[in-house]
């Protein structure tokens, strides 16, 4: 593997020591994780650690309206959260050794919806969406919670949504990288028809991998469902980034304890 060398000075007491910093010259993939509505970065930290062990730089973060910003839960809008995702993406690609041409974005539910839109605003090579939600385009600046009052989202998601009528689906249609779509068999928040809308829109993707998790609900509340999702996601990413990194094949570190992605009343 080729390397880069940088002459540095190391301060110690009243002296300065000459040193040479040697780092890999090869850039490595970056992976951005976007959690769902009502969730937090904690839901992806364990998976990020496993994927980082494959030779990637991973970034998890909390959307506004969540975790330390819970006070904004009632007022935060999609516009705010999309800016959060853009800021996180820009932070990731500025990290040393991250290849800006080899970025994967992983999103669940509301996070999957935002990740799809992000792909139309920033370069994304790999896009993994688990139970990505859909919303009407109007009310973009309105509080996200208001969307459930203004529209019958359950009916909207149970219909096949035309690609040209929805911002996230338009972005999916324009995406030309590799995509992973994951459905939960017993999802009562993001039903199969919503996944069908994304699947139909993804006609220009370089490749499309579709998985249905048997017996799983929206929040993956079962321990087996958590493990299955991790296995599918990590195997897919390992395959996708194989040409962009040099990591010996074999097992990755054991899972940390994974907290269930508890489904909220509205996603």
Reported pTM: 0.86
In a domain, 65, yes or no: yes
Domain enclosing residue 176, as ranges: 27-243
In a domain, 250, yes or no: no
In a domain, 140, yes or no: yes
Question: How many domains, in total, are found in the chain?
Answer: 1
In a domain, 163, yes or no: yes
Alpha carbon separation from 198 to 27, 38, 112, 128 (Å, rounded): 31, 22, 11, 12
In a domain, 2, yes or no: no
Q: Which residues contact 4 (CB under 8 A, 6 or more apart)?
A: 22, 23, 24, 25
In a domain, 266, yes or no: no
In a domain, 237, yes or no: yes
In a domain, 126, yes or no: yes
CATH number at residue 98: 3.40.50.1820
45 in Cβ contact with 58 (< 8 Å): no
Per-residue pLDDT of the chain (267 residues; tens, 9 = 90+): 567 787 878 887 887 778 787 766 678 899 999 999 999 998 899 999 999 998 899 999 999 999 888 999 999 999 999 999 999 999 999 988 899 999 999 999 999 999 999 999 999 999 999 999 999 999 999 999 999 898 999 999 999 999 999 999 999 999 999 999 999 999 999 999 999 999 999 999 999 999 999 999 999 999 999 999 999 999 999 999 886 554 444 434 444 556 666 555 567
**Structural element, H or E, at residue 184:** strand 178-184
């Amino acid at each position: 593997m080729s390397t880069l060398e940088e002459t540095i000075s190391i301060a110690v007491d009243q002296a300065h020591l000459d040193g040479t910093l040697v780092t890999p010259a090869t850039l490595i993939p970056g992976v951005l994780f976007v959690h769902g509505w009502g969730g937090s970065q904690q839901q992806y930290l364990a998976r990020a650690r496993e994927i980082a062990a494959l030779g990637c730089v991973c970034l998890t973060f909390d959307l506004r309206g969540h975790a330390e910003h819970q006070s904004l839960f009632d007022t935060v809008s999609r516009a705010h959260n999309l800016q959060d995702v853009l800021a996180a993406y820009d932070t990731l690609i500025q990290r040393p050794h991250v290849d800006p041409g080899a970025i994967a974005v992983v999103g669940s539910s509301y996070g999957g919806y935002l990740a799809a839109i992000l792909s139309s605003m920033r370069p994304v090579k790999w896009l993994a969406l688990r139970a990505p939600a859909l919303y009407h385009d109007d009310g973009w600046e309105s509080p996200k919670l208001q969307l459930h009052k203004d529209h019958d989202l359950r009916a909207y998601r149970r219909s096949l949504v035309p690609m040209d009528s929805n911002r996230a689906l338009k972005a999916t249609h324009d995406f030309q990288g590799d995509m992973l779509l994951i459905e939960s068999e017993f999802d009562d928040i993001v039903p199969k028809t919503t996944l069908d809308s994304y699947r139909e829109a993804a006609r220009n993707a370089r490749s499309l991998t579709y998985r249905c998790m048997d017996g799983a609900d929206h929040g993956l509340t079962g321990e087996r469902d958590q493990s299955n999702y991790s296995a599918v996601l990590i195997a897919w990413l390992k395959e996708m980034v194989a040409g962009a990194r040099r990591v010996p094949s074999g097992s990755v570190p054991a899972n940390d304890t994974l907290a269930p992605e508890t489904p909220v009343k509205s996603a």
